[in-house]
A = this chain, B = another copy of it.
Amino acid sequence: MSPLQMPPAPACAFASDNAAGAHPLVLDAIVRANEGHALAYGADAWTKESEARFSDLFGPTSSSLLVWNGTGANVMALAAMIRPADCIVCSQWAHIAVDETGAPERVLGTKLLTMPSTDGKLVPEQLDELEHLIGVQHHAQPGVVSITQSTELGMVYTADEVAALCDAAHRLGMKVHLDGARIANATAALGGTAAALRSFTVDAGVDVVSFGGTKAGIAFGEAVVFLDPELARRAMFIRKQVTQLPSKMRFIAAQFNALLADDLWIRLAQHSNGLATRLYESTKDIAGVTYDAAPQVNSVFPILPPQLIEPLQNWCFFWPWDVSRDQVRWMTAWDTTADDVDRFAAGVRAICTTT
Protein backbone atom coordinates (compact mmCIF):
# COMPACT_ATOMS: atom_id res chain seq x y z
CA MET A 1 0.00 0.00 0.00
CA SER A 2 1.31 3.43 -0.74
CA PRO A 3 1.11 6.02 2.02
CA LEU A 4 -0.28 8.40 -0.58
CA GLN A 5 -3.53 6.51 -0.53
CA MET A 6 -4.15 7.34 3.11
CA PRO A 7 -6.61 10.07 4.07
CA PRO A 8 -5.27 13.14 5.89
CA ALA A 9 -4.01 12.29 9.37
CA PRO A 10 -5.85 13.64 12.43
CA ALA A 11 -4.58 16.77 14.12
CA CYS A 12 -4.11 14.79 17.34
CA ALA A 13 -2.60 11.33 17.44
CA PHE A 14 -3.96 8.61 19.70
CA ALA A 15 -0.78 7.93 21.66
CA SER A 16 -1.84 8.91 25.15
CA ASP A 17 -3.79 11.42 27.16
CA ASN A 18 -0.50 12.69 28.51
CA ALA A 19 0.48 13.81 25.01
CA ALA A 20 -2.12 16.55 25.25
CA GLY A 21 -1.26 19.93 26.72
CA ALA A 22 -3.25 21.87 29.29
CA HIS A 23 -6.81 23.08 28.86
CA PRO A 24 -7.03 26.82 28.09
CA LEU A 25 -8.68 27.56 31.42
CA VAL A 26 -5.88 25.75 33.19
CA LEU A 27 -3.22 27.58 31.24
CA ASP A 28 -4.94 30.82 32.03
CA ALA A 29 -4.84 29.91 35.70
CA ILE A 30 -1.08 29.45 35.50
CA VAL A 31 -0.70 32.84 33.89
CA ARG A 32 -2.89 34.52 36.48
CA ALA A 33 -1.07 32.83 39.35
CA ASN A 34 2.20 34.38 38.20
CA GLU A 35 1.67 37.63 40.05
CA GLY A 36 4.07 38.88 42.68
CA HIS A 37 5.50 36.88 45.53
CA ALA A 38 3.88 33.99 47.37
CA LEU A 39 5.51 31.89 50.07
CA ALA A 40 6.77 28.56 48.79
CA TYR A 41 5.90 24.99 49.79
CA GLY A 42 2.17 25.49 50.05
CA ALA A 43 1.83 28.56 52.27
CA ASP A 44 -0.13 30.41 49.58
CA ALA A 45 -3.74 31.24 48.78
CA TRP A 46 -3.99 28.99 45.74
CA THR A 47 -3.02 25.92 47.74
CA LYS A 48 -5.52 26.86 50.44
CA GLU A 49 -8.21 27.05 47.79
CA SER A 50 -7.25 23.67 46.35
CA GLU A 51 -7.50 22.11 49.80
CA ALA A 52 -11.01 23.50 50.17
CA ARG A 53 -11.99 22.18 46.75
CA PHE A 54 -10.79 18.67 47.58
CA SER A 55 -12.57 18.82 50.92
CA ASP A 56 -15.74 19.74 49.09
CA LEU A 57 -15.32 16.65 46.93
CA PHE A 58 -14.23 14.13 49.55
CA GLY A 59 -15.71 15.44 52.76
CA PRO A 60 -14.54 17.40 55.76
CA THR A 61 -12.39 14.70 57.35
CA SER A 62 -10.38 14.25 54.18
CA SER A 63 -7.18 16.14 53.48
CA SER A 64 -5.12 16.64 50.34
CA LEU A 65 -1.52 17.23 49.43
CA LEU A 66 -0.32 18.32 46.01
CA VAL A 67 2.58 16.54 44.35
CA TRP A 68 4.40 16.53 41.04
CA ASN A 69 3.46 13.38 39.19
CA GLY A 70 1.73 10.05 39.22
CA THR A 71 4.65 7.92 40.33
CA GLY A 72 5.25 10.39 43.11
CA ALA A 73 1.61 10.43 44.16
CA ASN A 74 1.49 6.66 44.37
CA VAL A 75 4.78 6.31 46.18
CA MET A 76 3.89 9.03 48.66
CA ALA A 77 0.42 7.63 49.31
CA LEU A 78 1.76 4.14 49.86
CA ALA A 79 4.60 5.39 52.07
CA ALA A 80 1.99 6.82 54.41
CA MET A 81 0.04 3.55 54.45
CA ILE A 82 2.55 0.75 54.91
CA ARG A 83 4.04 -0.70 58.05
CA PRO A 84 7.44 -2.42 58.18
CA ALA A 85 7.41 -5.91 56.64
CA ASP A 86 4.16 -5.24 54.81
CA CYS A 87 3.62 -6.05 51.17
CA ILE A 88 1.43 -4.18 48.72
CA VAL A 89 -1.06 -6.28 46.79
CA CYS A 90 -1.99 -5.22 43.27
CA SER A 91 -2.91 -6.62 39.89
CA GLN A 92 -0.26 -7.88 37.53
CA TRP A 93 -1.09 -4.94 35.27
CA ALA A 94 -0.80 -2.29 37.97
CA HIS A 95 1.17 0.75 36.92
CA ILE A 96 3.04 0.67 40.23
CA ALA A 97 4.22 -2.86 39.46
CA VAL A 98 4.93 -2.58 35.76
CA ASP A 99 5.63 0.99 34.71
CA GLU A 100 7.44 2.76 37.49
CA THR A 101 10.94 1.30 37.12
CA GLY A 102 10.80 -0.21 40.56
CA ALA A 103 10.16 3.14 42.25
CA PRO A 104 7.89 1.61 44.91
CA GLU A 105 10.39 -1.07 45.79
CA ARG A 106 13.21 1.44 45.97
CA VAL A 107 11.55 4.27 47.82
CA LEU A 108 9.31 2.12 50.01
CA GLY A 109 11.54 -0.91 50.44
CA THR A 110 8.37 -2.94 50.11
CA LYS A 111 7.42 -6.05 48.19
CA LEU A 112 4.68 -5.80 45.59
CA LEU A 113 2.59 -8.94 45.46
CA THR A 114 1.02 -9.06 42.02
CA MET A 115 -2.11 -11.07 41.36
CA PRO A 116 -3.43 -12.36 38.04
CA SER A 117 -6.09 -10.34 36.26
CA THR A 118 -7.28 -10.08 32.69
CA ASP A 119 -8.68 -6.56 32.86
CA GLY A 120 -6.57 -5.03 35.62
CA LYS A 121 -9.30 -5.49 38.22
CA LEU A 122 -8.94 -7.47 41.43
CA VAL A 123 -11.77 -9.38 43.12
CA PRO A 124 -12.29 -9.82 46.88
CA GLU A 125 -11.59 -13.53 46.74
CA GLN A 126 -8.03 -12.72 45.75
CA LEU A 127 -7.61 -10.91 49.03
CA ASP A 128 -9.32 -13.64 51.02
CA GLU A 129 -6.74 -16.15 49.90
CA LEU A 130 -3.97 -14.04 51.42
CA GLU A 131 -5.19 -14.78 54.91
CA HIS A 132 -2.82 -17.72 55.31
CA LEU A 133 0.15 -15.34 55.03
CA ILE A 134 -0.91 -13.29 58.01
CA GLY A 135 1.09 -13.90 61.14
CA VAL A 136 3.68 -16.11 59.45
CA GLN A 137 7.09 -14.59 60.06
CA HIS A 138 8.57 -15.79 56.77
CA HIS A 139 6.12 -13.85 54.60
CA ALA A 140 5.71 -10.18 53.97
CA GLN A 141 2.40 -9.23 55.57
CA PRO A 142 -0.50 -8.09 53.38
CA GLY A 143 -0.75 -4.47 54.40
CA VAL A 144 -2.19 -2.48 51.52
CA VAL A 145 -4.14 -3.30 48.40
CA SER A 146 -3.70 -0.84 45.56
CA ILE A 147 -6.36 -0.76 42.86
CA THR A 148 -6.33 1.37 39.72
CA GLN A 149 -9.49 3.22 38.74
CA SER A 150 -9.96 3.19 35.79
CA THR A 151 -7.58 0.29 35.23
CA GLU A 152 -4.56 0.19 32.95
CA LEU A 153 -6.77 -1.79 30.55
CA GLY A 154 -9.51 0.81 30.46
CA MET A 155 -11.96 -0.98 32.74
CA VAL A 156 -13.93 0.59 35.57
CA TYR A 157 -14.70 -0.84 39.01
CA THR A 158 -18.29 -0.21 40.04
CA ALA A 159 -18.81 1.36 43.43
CA ASP A 160 -20.06 -1.98 44.72
CA GLU A 161 -16.98 -3.74 43.47
CA VAL A 162 -14.71 -1.26 45.22
CA ALA A 163 -16.77 -1.56 48.40
CA ALA A 164 -16.48 -5.34 48.34
CA LEU A 165 -12.71 -5.09 47.92
CA CYS A 166 -12.48 -2.59 50.75
CA ASP A 167 -14.50 -4.88 52.98
CA ALA A 168 -12.27 -7.83 52.19
CA ALA A 169 -9.16 -5.75 52.76
CA HIS A 170 -10.32 -4.24 56.03
CA ARG A 171 -11.32 -7.66 57.31
CA LEU A 172 -7.65 -8.63 56.98
CA GLY A 173 -6.46 -5.41 58.57
CA MET A 174 -5.32 -4.06 55.21
CA LYS A 175 -5.68 -0.51 53.91
CA VAL A 176 -6.93 0.40 50.42
CA HIS A 177 -5.16 2.72 47.99
CA LEU A 178 -6.85 3.85 44.81
CA ASP A 179 -4.51 4.87 42.00
CA GLY A 180 -6.69 7.43 40.27
CA ALA A 181 -4.39 8.58 37.51
CA ARG A 182 -7.58 8.51 35.40
CA ILE A 183 -10.09 8.99 38.19
CA ALA A 184 -11.81 11.66 36.11
CA ASN A 185 -12.54 9.16 33.36
CA ALA A 186 -13.86 6.68 35.90
CA THR A 187 -16.05 9.33 37.49
CA ALA A 188 -17.41 10.26 34.10
CA ALA A 189 -18.11 6.61 33.33
CA LEU A 190 -19.93 6.06 36.61
CA GLY A 191 -22.33 8.95 36.36
CA GLY A 192 -20.30 12.07 35.97
CA THR A 193 -21.06 13.67 39.31
CA ALA A 194 -19.25 14.35 42.55
CA ALA A 195 -21.64 11.84 44.11
CA ALA A 196 -20.38 9.23 41.67
CA LEU A 197 -16.81 10.03 42.73
CA ARG A 198 -17.72 9.62 46.36
CA SER A 199 -19.57 6.37 45.71
CA PHE A 200 -16.41 4.52 44.70
CA THR A 201 -14.03 6.29 47.10
CA VAL A 202 -15.22 7.66 50.44
CA ASP A 203 -18.47 5.72 50.54
CA ALA A 204 -16.82 2.50 49.40
CA GLY A 205 -14.22 2.61 52.14
CA VAL A 206 -11.09 3.60 50.22
CA ASP A 207 -8.40 4.96 52.56
CA VAL A 208 -6.15 7.01 50.25
CA VAL A 209 -6.63 8.25 46.69
CA SER A 210 -4.07 9.34 44.12
CA PHE A 211 -6.12 11.95 42.27
CA GLY A 212 -4.79 12.44 38.77
CA GLY A 213 -4.50 15.87 37.24
CA THR A 214 -2.00 15.49 34.41
CA LYS A 215 -4.10 13.17 32.28
CA ALA A 216 -7.28 15.07 33.11
CA GLY A 217 -6.21 18.27 31.42
CA ILE A 218 -3.56 20.11 33.40
CA ALA A 219 0.09 20.55 32.53
CA PHE A 220 1.48 18.84 35.60
CA GLY A 221 0.39 17.95 39.08
CA GLU A 222 -1.45 15.29 41.07
CA ALA A 223 -3.05 15.24 44.48
CA VAL A 224 -2.94 12.66 47.23
CA VAL A 225 -6.21 12.67 49.14
CA PHE A 226 -6.32 11.02 52.54
CA LEU A 227 -9.76 9.74 53.47
CA ASP A 228 -8.47 8.03 56.61
CA PRO A 229 -7.29 10.96 58.74
CA GLU A 230 -4.94 8.78 60.75
CA LEU A 231 -2.92 8.02 57.63
CA ALA A 232 -2.57 11.71 56.90
CA ARG A 233 -0.73 12.50 60.11
CA ARG A 234 2.80 12.03 58.81
CA ALA A 235 2.04 12.71 55.17
CA MET A 236 3.43 16.22 54.99
CA PHE A 237 6.88 15.01 56.03
CA ILE A 238 6.73 11.98 53.80
CA ARG A 239 5.92 14.16 50.78
CA LYS A 240 9.16 16.05 51.19
CA GLN A 241 11.12 12.91 52.03
CA VAL A 242 10.11 11.20 48.79
CA THR A 243 11.12 14.33 46.78
CA GLN A 244 7.54 15.36 45.98
CA LEU A 245 7.21 18.73 47.71
CA PRO A 246 6.74 21.42 45.04
CA SER A 247 8.50 24.70 45.75
CA LYS A 248 6.32 27.26 43.97
CA MET A 249 3.23 25.25 44.76
CA ARG A 250 0.80 27.87 43.58
CA PHE A 251 1.47 26.73 40.02
CA ILE A 252 0.02 23.29 40.74
CA ALA A 253 -2.76 24.53 42.98
CA ALA A 254 -3.95 27.11 40.48
CA GLN A 255 -4.27 24.45 37.82
CA PHE A 256 -6.29 22.17 40.06
CA ASN A 257 -8.50 25.07 41.05
CA ALA A 258 -9.30 25.65 37.39
CA LEU A 259 -9.75 21.96 36.70
CA LEU A 260 -12.08 21.34 39.63
CA ALA A 261 -14.15 24.49 39.10
CA ASP A 262 -17.54 23.90 37.50
CA ASP A 263 -16.77 20.19 37.09
CA LEU A 264 -14.38 20.91 34.23
CA TRP A 265 -12.49 17.71 35.08
CA ILE A 266 -15.67 15.65 34.66
CA ARG A 267 -16.73 17.34 31.46
CA LEU A 268 -13.33 16.83 29.85
CA ALA A 269 -13.39 13.16 30.83
CA GLN A 270 -16.91 12.73 29.46
CA HIS A 271 -15.62 14.20 26.22
CA SER A 272 -12.64 11.88 25.91
CA ASN A 273 -14.63 8.85 27.05
CA GLY A 274 -17.27 9.61 24.44
CA LEU A 275 -14.70 9.82 21.70
CA ALA A 276 -13.23 6.45 22.62
CA THR A 277 -16.69 4.98 22.24
CA ARG A 278 -17.05 6.77 18.91
CA LEU A 279 -13.73 5.32 17.80
CA TYR A 280 -14.78 1.85 18.88
CA GLU A 281 -18.12 2.10 17.15
CA SER A 282 -16.61 3.34 13.94
CA THR A 283 -13.89 0.65 13.75
CA LYS A 284 -15.36 -2.48 15.30
CA ASP A 285 -16.85 -3.68 12.07
CA ILE A 286 -13.66 -3.24 10.03
CA ALA A 287 -12.37 -6.55 8.77
CA GLY A 288 -9.15 -7.38 10.61
CA VAL A 289 -9.95 -5.26 13.66
CA THR A 290 -11.12 -7.16 16.72
CA TYR A 291 -11.82 -6.06 20.26
CA ASP A 292 -11.97 -7.93 23.56
CA ALA A 293 -14.46 -5.48 24.96
CA ALA A 294 -16.18 -2.17 24.37
CA PRO A 295 -14.43 0.80 25.98
CA GLN A 296 -15.52 2.05 29.39
CA VAL A 297 -13.29 5.10 29.46
CA ASN A 298 -10.94 6.83 27.02
CA SER A 299 -8.97 3.97 25.49
CA VAL A 300 -9.57 1.04 23.17
CA PHE A 301 -7.33 -1.99 22.75
CA PRO A 302 -7.86 -3.38 19.25
CA ILE A 303 -6.08 -6.38 17.82
CA LEU A 304 -4.82 -5.56 14.34
CA PRO A 305 -3.36 -7.40 11.39
CA PRO A 306 0.32 -7.38 12.37
CA GLN A 307 1.65 -6.13 9.06
CA LEU A 308 -0.55 -3.04 9.25
CA ILE A 309 0.51 -1.84 12.69
CA GLU A 310 3.71 -0.10 11.67
CA PRO A 311 2.31 1.64 8.59
CA LEU A 312 -0.60 2.85 10.67
CA GLN A 313 1.73 4.12 13.40
CA ASN A 314 3.78 5.95 10.79
CA TRP A 315 0.66 7.65 9.55
CA CYS A 316 -0.68 8.57 13.00
CA PHE A 317 1.25 7.44 16.06
CA PHE A 318 -0.02 5.15 18.82
CA TRP A 319 1.64 2.66 21.18
CA PRO A 320 1.68 -1.13 21.01
CA TRP A 321 0.10 -2.89 23.98
CA ASP A 322 0.40 -6.67 24.02
CA VAL A 323 2.84 -7.49 21.25
CA SER A 324 2.27 -11.22 21.60
CA ARG A 325 -1.35 -10.71 20.50
CA ASP A 326 -0.81 -7.85 18.01
CA GLN A 327 -2.82 -5.72 20.37
CA VAL A 328 -2.38 -1.96 20.38
CA ARG A 329 -3.79 0.93 22.37
CA TRP A 330 -5.63 3.95 20.97
CA MET A 331 -6.27 6.63 23.54
CA THR A 332 -8.26 9.83 23.36
CA ALA A 333 -7.55 12.99 25.33
CA TRP A 334 -9.46 16.05 26.52
CA ASP A 335 -8.57 17.84 23.29
CA THR A 336 -9.25 15.03 20.83
CA THR A 337 -12.01 16.02 18.42
CA ALA A 338 -14.73 14.06 16.70
CA ASP A 339 -13.00 15.01 13.49
CA ASP A 340 -9.75 13.42 14.73
CA VAL A 341 -11.65 10.24 15.50
CA ASP A 342 -13.40 10.17 12.19
CA ARG A 343 -10.22 10.76 10.22
CA PHE A 344 -8.43 8.11 12.21
CA ALA A 345 -11.22 5.57 11.76
CA ALA A 346 -11.20 6.36 8.06
CA GLY A 347 -7.47 5.72 7.93
CA VAL A 348 -7.80 2.41 9.71
CA ARG A 349 -10.57 1.41 7.38
CA ALA A 350 -8.55 2.45 4.37
CA ILE A 351 -5.46 0.55 5.39
CA CYS A 352 -7.39 -2.56 6.38
CA THR A 353 -9.50 -2.74 3.33
CA THR A 354 -6.92 -1.89 0.69
CA THR A 355 -4.26 -4.33 1.85
Residues of B within 8 A of A140 (CB): 101-102, 105, 237, 241
Residues of B within 8 A of A286 (CB): none
Q: Is the CB of B31 within 8 A of A19?
A: no
Q: Is the CB of B139 within 8 A of A85?
A: no
Q: Does A159 contact B (CB under 8 A)?
A: no
Cβ proximity bits A28-39 to B, threshold 8 Å, 1 near / 0 not? 001101111111
A133 to B107, CA, bound (A): 21
Could you say which of A147-155, A162-170, A243-251 contacts chain B?
A243-251
- With both beta carbons as reference points, the residue of chain B lying nearest to A333 in the complex is identified as B37
Q: Which of A12, A241, A250, A251 has the most CB of B within 10 A?
A: A241
Q: Is the CB of B21 within 8 A of A40?
A: no
Distance in angstroms from A140 CB to nearest chain B CB is 4
Cβ proximity bits A80-104 to B, threshold 8 Å, 1 near / 0 not? 1001111100000000001111110
Q: Is the CB of A248 within 8 A of B234?
A: no
Q: Is the CB of A13 within 8 A of B37?
A: yes
Q: Does A11 contact B (CB under 8 A)?
A: yes
Q: Does A18 contact B (CB under 8 A)?
A: yes
A27 to B31, CA, bound (A): 7
Q: Is the CB of A107 within 8 A of B110?
A: no
- From B22, B38, B234, A19 is in contact (CB under 8 Å) with B38
Q: Is the CB of A241 within 8 A of B16?
A: no
**Number of this chain's copies in the complex:** 4
- With both beta carbons as reference points, the residue of chain B lying nearest to A11 in the complex is identified as B36
Residues of B within 8 A of A243 (CB): 68-69, 71-72, 75, 103, 107, 242-244
Q: Is the CB of B219 within 8 A of A251?
A: yes
Q: Is the CB of B87 within 8 A of A102?
A: yes
Q: Does A112 contact B (CB under 8 A)?
A: yes
Distance in angstroms from A127 CB to nearest chain B CB is 16
A240 to B139, CA, bound (A): 9
Distance in angstroms from A5 CB to nearest chain B CB is 24
A22 to B72, CA, bound (A): 24
A69 to B68, CA, bound (A): 9
Q: Is the CB of A100 within 8 A of B220?
A: no
- Given A70-B247, A112-B111, A214-B247, A37:B19 Cβ within 8 A: yes
Per CB-CB distance, the 3 closest pairs between chain A and chain B, nearest first, are A85-B237, A102-B140, A102-B111
Could you show 30 A-B contacts with beta carbons less than 8 Å apart?
A11-B36, A18-B248, A19-B38, A21-B36, A21-B37, A21-B248, A22-B34, A34-B219, A41-B138, A68-B72, A69-B245, A71-B245, A85-B102, A85-B234, A85-B240, A85-B241, A100-B138, A101-B141, A101-B237, A102-B111, A102-B241, A105-B111, A105-B112, A106-B110, A107-B242, A141-B237, A219-B248, A220-B220, A220-B248, A242-B243
**Which residue numbers of A lie inside 8 Å of B, CB to CB?**
11-13, 15-16, 18-22, 27, 30-31, 33-41, 68-72, 75, 79-80, 83-87, 98-103, 105-107, 109-112, 132, 137-141, 214, 219-220, 234, 236-248, 250-251, 317, 323, 333, 335
Known: A41-B138, A80-B84, A100-B241; 12 extra A-B contacts, CB below 8 A, are A39-B317, A68-B68, A69-B245, A71-B243, A75-B243, A85-B102, A85-B106, A101-B237, A102-B110, A105-B109, A105-B140, A137-B240
